[in-house]
Structure 1
Amino acid sequence: MSLYLKYRPKTVDELDLAGVRESFNKLINSNVVSHAYLFTGPRGAGKTSSARILARIVNCEKNKDKLGEPCNECSACKSILSGGSLDFIEIDAASNRGIDDIRELKEKIRLAPSELKYKVYIIDEVHMLTTEAFNALLKTLEEPPAHAIFILCTTETHKVPETIQSRCVSIGFTKATPEEMKRSFARVVTGEGKKVSEEALDYLSRSVDGSFRDGVKILDKVLSQSDDVQLAQIEEAIMGVAGYNVSALVEALTKRDSNTALGELHAATARGMDLVYLTITLMKELRNRILAGESKELVKLVFNLDEVARKIANSPVPELLLEMVIIDWGSIGQSEHSEDQNSSKIGKSDAKQKLDPVIKMESGEAKGASVDGSKSPWMQMKEQFLTGKRQAGTAKSSSSLAREDGSVTIDEAIEIFS
């Protein structure tokens, strides 16, 4: 038996998502059993495992008068745990999605339970049902038999009709936090009587995108090979290569250094790293930098990598897709850098002209010659200014006001235009 099935939570207390534990405890304290529940959330979050726990809660022989934790020892709990009960039915909507499947379910649900208090139907990936099947299911949910309970599970809530959702008690599952993941993995490691370093557990908890199932599958692999698992073994199990640090590639991309980035990419592929995982890891690292306010320009790169991640599986040369993204990203950076340099040169030239203590107007207009031979507005303004100054007795032959080349100081120019 795989470790994921072996260490599936069997009680409410063993559920690793704190929010789900709280929802189940409220359900137990209310002592009310609904005819339909809707479990929504990402894959690997524990929806089906939680549905099995709920099936035992409502059928446990120790909970006849009041709901509580399942004992997992009575005949009802054991039959559900083993999957041998005729009154506990799990349906995969992905492969049983038609109206005929739901009609068959409607026929059978009318029959009273043979051994349990409630007949429990778990419909996994319920959003995969056809429109006709949903309509048939709706009629059952509108007039459910008193002995029947539906637990619908889905990763895509928006595809479940509102008419179905409104007739269910909804419990939302979220991606597990690294702390919740670590709690779950530590229980598996302890149960197997083996050791995994804290560093390795931390890395695993951050790397499986909130999926308990994916994390335990990786643990299953490494624990079968070693009794004392270290970080390098977890890295190899996840990435297909030990000891490769993706941060150098991220740093090169952030700097738009395509040569270094290509070198890091080739180093990773030469060591057998899975390109899909590498691309997804890059996207996550860049996302963290964007959220930290490092550079909004990285958003475009993340979108490009997302497109690559979708195409890699069907590409005859998957490495080429990543290479093209890196080269394109680097060339955009070089183009922008060149434009910045040109702008900088122009800016410096303008600044030098502005900071020159004497402004020399070399154009015909500045010297007083306009196109039609009349005095330019600039010349007229300057003459008025100088005349006013001389009349005030402030102009001297040696001063800039009497310069024959027509130049004026910055302060004088400001005064002319003010």
Structure 2
Amino acid sequence: MALALYRKYRPATFAEVVGQEHVTDPLRIALAAGRINHAYLFSGPRGCGKTSSARIMARSLNCAKGPTPDPCGECNSCRNLAPEGPGSVDVTELDAASHGGVDDARELRDRAFYAPADSRYRVFIIDEAHMVTTQGFNALLKIVEEPPEHLIFIFATTEPDKVLPTIRSRTHHYPFRLIPPSSMRELLERNVADEGAKVEPAVYPLVIRAGGGSARDTQSVLDQLLAGAGPDGVDYSRAVSLLGVTDVALIDGMVDALAADDAAGVFGTVERLAEAGHDPRRFATDLLDRLRDLVMLRSVPDAGERGLVSAPDDELKKMKEQAGKLEPATLSRYADIVHNGLLEMRGATSPRLVLELLTARMLLPSVAEGADALLARLERLERRAASAPAPVAGGAVQAAPPVQNVQTAQAAPAPAQVAPSGEPVREFQRPSQ
């Protein structure tokens, strides 16, 4: 049985941890200087490297050449604590979801006083630390506050606010973050190259978006695609069908129809969506992502080059054209309508009906009230005026002459009036008093 990608390519050193330089660099400096704390708290979203970094920390502390930011990988401790190693008796990893009670904490406290068997430090890695009960934290409080010299605690949690404040105040807290798309793509491309597989460039944004910034989740998605890939590798159509994302052609069709005020095109896209078996909720989510990208491109023309919008070159070119057809207020209004529509879809018995209704609201800004709808109507009038054909001679209505300056018009002499007999009409003058 082959290992999953997230296990096969688990980082073994801090230099291999992707997208967490704000955490790994200070830890490396502290290890190099020998400034070791007795307790650490690693917090952040799931799958971003907290537990892996805790294992690397234990490996760096117990290396024969350590404490060192770069474990040698040759001593017994480094081999035992490697990602594929058997582990060490001096490094204990506990899952607080099943060992968070007061009895478990007391047992851990009693074991902590024993000196390490074959290492420099005894390291306790407590995963999902927010699951430890209040009584369990209170049982650990004294030993976390004043531990033996050979003991180090590393707490890992997705919810640091639920960790007892008295415990949290005695740790060095390092918050992990979601991995940015650029770093995630480098990681995926490196994994694909090591696997000797083929993946179309347009597939990577789909995988990264499905992973949501988590390295573990993203690698799991890529692993699923590679497992079902044919001899030609992972192509875009296969990825769309397996991941359940909306085909980009449907998104383009919807945006183009909205830009042209084409009601038939808008509802025709919804019909094709239903015929293809796509989830209306997922389509609305993907449409909201596209509107966000268009807002970025409208506000920052080089958003693609800056990394604010991640898309293949041909799709990025298409989005730039779409952004030029829609004004900022209209895009903002569309995004608000789709966002509110997603909230309505949560408990809806007919998501397609909700999707059709929200697209109808997008097409009819005149039925809504508020500043956004007013700006959208003004932008529509300006767009129609700009796209109106120029007047031609011989049948077209002539444009009105420009209005003269008020002072010039008053200074100009009025034309003389002529009677039917041809004689000029004399103006009646009031007799002087």
- The two structures have a TM-score, normalised by structure 1, of 0.69
2:79 counterpart residue number: 78
Q: Identify the match of residue 289 of structure 2 among 268, 284, 309.
A: 284
Matched, 1:112 2:148: no
Are 1:254 and 1:298, in contact at CA under 8 Å, matched by a contact in 2? no
What is the number of residues matched between the two proteins? 341
Matched, 1:6 2:36: no
Q: 1:199 to 1:299 in 2, by over 3 A?
A: closer
Matched, 1:301 2:337: yes
Separation in structure 1 between the aligned mates of residue 259 and residue 132 of structure 2, nearest angstrom: 44
2:194 counterpart residue number: 191
Q: 1:71 to 1:300 in 2, by over 3 A?
A: same
Matched, 1:323 2:353: yes
Corresponding residue SS for 1:135:
helix
Higher gyration radius (CA) = 1
Q: Identify the match of residue 43 of structure 2 among 40, 43, 46.
A: 40
1:237 is matched by which residue type in structure 2? L
Deviations 1:123-161 (Å, cap 9, x if unpaired)?
Answer: 222223333233333333112222222221222233334
Are 2:263 and 2:363, in contact at CA under 8 Å, matched by a contact in 1? no
1:38 is matched by which residue type in structure 2? L
Corresponding residue SS for 1:229:
coil
Separation in structure 2 between the aligned mates of residue 302 and residue 329 of structure 1, nearest angstrom: 8
How far apart are residue 204 of structure 1 and its match? 3.0
Separation in structure 2 between the aligned mates of residue 288 and residue 139 of structure 1, nearest angstrom: 52
Q: 1:331 to 1:188 in 2, by over 3 A?
A: closer
Are 1:89 and 1:120, in contact at CA under 8 Å, matched by a contact in 2? yes
1:68 counterpart residue number: 69
Deviations 1:97-132 (Å, cap 9, x if unpaired)?
Answer: 332332222222222223332222222222233332
1:157 counterpart residue number: 160
2:17 counterpart residue number: 15
Alignment of 1:207-218 (within 5 A): 207-218=210-221
Separation in structure 1 between the aligned mates of residue 198 and residue 363 of structure 2, nearest angstrom: 47
Are 1:40 and 1:155, in contact at CA under 8 Å, matched by a contact in 2? yes
Q: Identify the match of residue 52 of structure 1 among 39, 51, 55.
A: 55
Q: 1:258 to 1:324 in 2, by over 3 A?
A: farther
Query: Any stretches of 5+ residues in structure 2 without a counterpart?
Result: 300-327, 379-402, 404-425
1:198 is matched by which residue type in structure 2? P
1:387 counterpart residue number: none
Separation in structure 1 between the aligned mates of residue 26 and residue 252 of structure 2, nearest angstrom: 39
1:297 is matched by which residue type in structure 2? R
Q: 1:300 to 1:68 in 2, by over 3 A?
A: closer
Deviations 1:72-102 (Å, cap 9, x if unpaired)?
Answer: 3322122223343222222222333332332
Q: Identity across aligned pairs (percent)?
A: 34
How far apart are residue 332 of structure 1 and its match? 7.6
Separation in structure 2 between the aligned mates of residue 241 and residue 335 of structure 1, nearest angstrom: 26
Q: 1:195 to 1:134 in 2, by over 3 A?
A: same
The more displaced of 249-258 and 199-208 is 249-258
Q: Identify the match of residue 242 of structure 2 among 234, 237, 240.
A: 237
Q: How large is the Cα RMSD of the aligned pairs?
A: 3.6
Are 1:258 and 1:326, in contact at CA under 8 Å, matched by a contact in 2? no
